[in-house]
Amino acid sequence: MKIVLENLTKIFPSRNKKSSDEVVAVNNFNFEIPDGKLIGLLGPSGCGKSTTLYMISGLQKPTGGKIYFGDDDVTEVSTEKRGIGLVFQNYALYPHLTVRQNILFPLQNLRGADKMSKDDMLKRAYEVAKLVQIEELMDRKPSELSGGQQQRVAIARALVKMPRVLLLDEPLSNLDARLRLQTREEIRRIQKETKITTVFVTHDQEEAMSISDLIVVMKLGVLQQIGAPQDVYDEPANLFVAKFLGTPPINVFDGEVKGGKLYIGDDAVLDVKNVPDMPVTVGIRPEGFVLDENGPFKCRLSNVEVMGRDVSIVSTHPASLNPIIRSIINADHKVEPKNDEVAYTLKPHKVFLFDKETENRIRF
């Protein structure tokens, strides 16, 4: 089922009655979450991800705007009646109940026409337990499970009522690195198998990129860009998005366009024919550098790190806005610096220009 957010806004009043510094946690969101897709809400802490998710769930009431599930306006519908499954960062399982009882719990609370027989409930509980691969653990208590297993139980519990929408708020944050990777692949598999429209909140760009059909990048309650992960990476709308996506991060420089050429310091590094003369901020992805002893972009070499398949070259440049520049080169290339200098040509599609004032992308 698709979800539509229309002019969705959440303003928290200031805690201090005398001051007027209210927080606009979510500022006029308009976007559609397509049916059966997994979308990642991505942005730094405090940008309004959880608030957006809680409004979709009904746990928080919007200050303005509407939420549609399919064609139904659910803005005023209670959480229980929205048909959602929720998973939080801390698994929030009942410690005194077994895994089986934890999963059964939402079904036991069903009333009226939705009420299920005991056999049907058990059958359903085992189906979801199987889906998240914990059917062997049904008799254990949460304290007897690893973090990853607990999170699977929480996911099973969220799925057992067959929700129309699955909402996950930083579900992997409490897991160690290896389990995080494994569990995120699990979530992807479960989502693909069940085809439940899913909203996945994370501050981790790599996590969002790897798991999502679409990512929604947010900053301070304002939507920055929405698109397929690779498209957003390849075509960032502004400097914030360019800097937020990618490991190692994009390299950023002060630059200037003069006579159709992009200058970084004194080096004319690229032709940018359609851009008028103006100062710009330049972003260059680490994979955008090509070693070339006659290349126009000359940097001071600091260090070469061989990482198996790739070589990471650390260098500096006076116009760099970061302490170091990191470029990633195929390990087949030998790095032969001259007088501690390393020269590059640039791949044009890996170079982005941004307006110095608005930080919006300037296309060339």
The residue of the chain with the least Cβ separation from Mg ion equals 50
Residues recorded for the chain: 364
- Stretch of 40-48, 83-91, 224-232, 345-353 contacting ligand ADP, by CB under 6 A: 40-48
Q: 29, 33, 39, 51: which one contacts ligand ADP (CB under 6 A)?
A: 51
- Stretch of 45-53, 229-237, 243-251, 308-316 contacting ligand ADP, by CB under 6 A: 45-53
Residue 209 or 218: the one with the smaller Cβ distance to Mg ion is 218
Residue 54 or 91: the one with the smaller Cβ distance to ligand ADP is 54
The whole-angstrom separation of Cα 76 and Cα 64 is 12
The whole-angstrom separation of Cα 319 and Cα 44 is 27
Strand partners, 301: 315
Number of residues that bind ligand ADP (CB under 6 A): 11
Q: 16, 19, 45, 247: which one contacts ligand ADP (CB under 6 A)?
A: 45
Do the Cβ atoms of 21 and 14 come closer than 8 Å? yes
Q: 7, 12, 70, 110: which one contacts ligand ADP (CB under 6 A)?
A: 12
SS in 3 state form for 110-161? CCHHHCCCHHHHHHHHHHHHHHCCCHHHCCCCHHHCCHHHHHHHHHHHHHCC
Q: Footprint of Mg ion on this chain (CB under 5 A)?
A: 50
Work out the end-to-end distance of the chain between its first and last CA atoms, rounded to an integer number of angstroms: 39
Q: 1, 28, 46, 75: which one contacts ligand ADP (CB under 6 A)?
A: 46
CB of 91 to ligand ADP, least distance (A): 18
Q: 38, 40, 49, 233: which one contacts ligand ADP (CB under 6 A)?
A: 49
Residue 60 or 238: the one with the smaller Cβ distance to ligand ADP is 60
Peptide bond into 95 cis (omega under 30): no
Binding mask 19-38 for ligand ADP (x = CB under 6 A): ----x-x-------------
Phi-psi region of 131 (alpha: psi -120 to 50; beta: other; left: phi over 0): alpha
258's CB contacts (< 8 A; 6+ apart) are 277
Task: Report the interface residues with ligand ADP, using CB under 6 A.
Answer: 12, 23, 25, 43, 45-51
